[in-house]
Amino acid sequence: MIFKLGTLFRAAALTIPLISSPVFAADVVNVGSVGNSGDVGFYLAEARGYFAAENLDVKLNVFDSAAKMIAPLGTGELDVGSGAASAGLYNAAARRIDIRAVADRGRTAPGYQYQTLMIRKDLIDSGRVKSYADLKGLKIAAAAPGVTSLSVINEAMKKGGHTYADADTVFLGFPSQVAAFQSKAIDASMMVEPFGTKLVNDGTAVRWVSTEDFYPNDQISMIFYGDKFAKEKTDIARRFMKAYVRGVRDYNDALENGQWAKNAKAEEVIAILSKNLGMKVEQLRGIFPHACNVDGRLDIDSMKKDLAFFKEQGLVGDKNANVDAIVDMSFVEAAVKDLGPYKPAK
């Protein structure tokens, strides 16, 4: 009996099990975020497939503040946190809750107006506030007790020849600060975007001066790793950082001289922010972006200044607390080694 060669192959194929590459489930990473434009590195890494390229399933969990992430980071319920550093971070370290500051999330830099000292407009118009010396006695809002913006207020008061105690500090979240300005319940604030632009557009407050004028290169917020994530899931932590740094670099490609660049890259980033923040593109196009190191590196000098202030105010009880004990930039260094030096997109 004669068989055609193709018939033999087809018959053989029916008896041989199909062999395919194994499909591995993506590694889940639980991330705490505060749901503002500082999360742009996360949003870009997700939207552009950088997390997927590292086989990561990143789940963002929104918190009111970074302070509320400390406990779940300590237990491993959260792998990654983000937001402003606080006295609580150092106090947690004293209680042996190991949380690491691993990357930049947002800072000030020359030419950037993301974070400004805002003064109620009627106080400027009336001449009540003309110089730093006039800050004494003003009711100045900060986002929460024990956060680094208190250190920024301290630097502003020092420039006017005063001490931190000469400011009447009150604690309100940024959305509540907007309403407090409108009702004249506060006089000033260390304000960030997009709330600053809203106040200016409403005619309620003015951007009196960028915080760069009295506190250069302020490390506003950062990325944190829980100890369990860093130690027990080191490979995943490295892959996460690689994707994040790619997102941060894309973000920097959308900036020019402290503002959004006039190009398609900026429009793409703004569109991604719009989708994630639920804000209109027109609103986001009008705000001032924050600075962020292209390699994700933290500004250690700024962190040391803030810690010294916390100790001076008695907010950190451990006299031996130091920045080096909570900073771990090995993950960004590994990411940069893999990615190579940053090259601005053309």
Length of the chain: 346
Q: Which residue type, as a one-letter code, is found at position 13?
A: A
Query: Considering 195, 213, 231, which residue would you say is the last residue of a domain?
Result: 213
Residues 332 and 231 in one domain: yes
pLDDT band at 2 (very low <50, low <70, confident <90, very high): very low
Looking at 198, 213, 228, the residue that finishes a domain is 213
Stated pTM of the model: 0.89
Domain membership of residue 73 as a residue range: 27-106+219-339
CA–CA distances in Å: residue 176 to residues 191, 266, 305:
12, 29, 28
pLDDT at 4 > cutoff 50: no
- The model's pLDDT over 167-225, given as tens digits with 9 standing for 90+, comes to 999 999 888 999 999 999 999 999 999 899 999 999 999 999 999 999 999 999 999 99
Contacts of 177 (CB under 8 A, 6+ apart): 141, 143, 186, 189, 191, 195
Whether 7 is in a domain gets the answer no
Q: Are 252 and 107 in contact (CB under 8 A)?
A: no
For residue 267, CA distances in Å to 47, 65, 236, 303, 328 come to 14, 28, 31, 33, 33
Predicted confidence band of residue 346 (pLDDT cuts 50, 70, 90): confident
The whole-number pLDDT of residue 11 equals 42
Looking at the fold, whether 81 and 155 belong to one and the same domain comes out as: no
